Structure 1
Amino acid sequence: MLHEYRDIITHMKESGNENAHFLRIFNKHNELDDKIIKAEKNEIILTDLEIETLKKEKLMLKDEAYSILVKYKKEHNL
C-alpha cells in the first residue's frame, strides 16, 4: 500500500505510539488485502458481495492512511 511513501511509513513505524492509529489502519489494510487475494484464488470461500465489501473497506482505509501520510510528511518536513 502506498509504496511511494515507503520511507515515510518506515519513519512513522519507528516513531512509536504517536502513530498508533496509522499503524492500525496500515495493518488492517494489509489483512484485508491478504483476505481478498485468498478469496480470489479460492483459498477461502467468500461471495462476490463479500469480496466487494472488503475491497471498499480496504479503499477507505487506504484513503485515510494517505491523508495521515500527507499530513505527517508536511508536519515533519519529509
Structure 2
Amino acid sequence: MSAIFGRVAGRSGCRTHRHGLCGNAAIIRQDRIEYRVFDRLRCAFDIPELMTAFTKGLAKERRKLEHQNGTADIDRLGR
C-alpha cells in the first residue's frame, strides 16, 4: 500500500487502488490495525506498567481528537 484512505468509517486501504493504479484491493478495519499495533507494542514493551500507561495516554488522545472532530462538525453544521 502506498497510502491509506478512510472512505468508509473505520476501514482503510490503498489510496491508489481507487484510481486503478494499484492492484491491492485489500481493506482493513481500524480495530484490526489497532490490534496489530498494540500486539507488537506489547511484545516490544513487555512491561505491563508501561503498556498500561501508553494505552491510557492513547485513549485520552483519541477522546480529545474525537471531541475536536465532533466540535468541528458541529461548527460546520452551524454555519
Higher helix residue share:
1
TM interval, short-chain normalised: 0.3 to 0.5
User: TM-score, length-normalised on structure 1?
Assistant: 0.48
Higher strand residue share:
2
Max Rg structure: 2
Larger RCO, structures 1/2 (Cα 8 Å, 6+ apart): 1
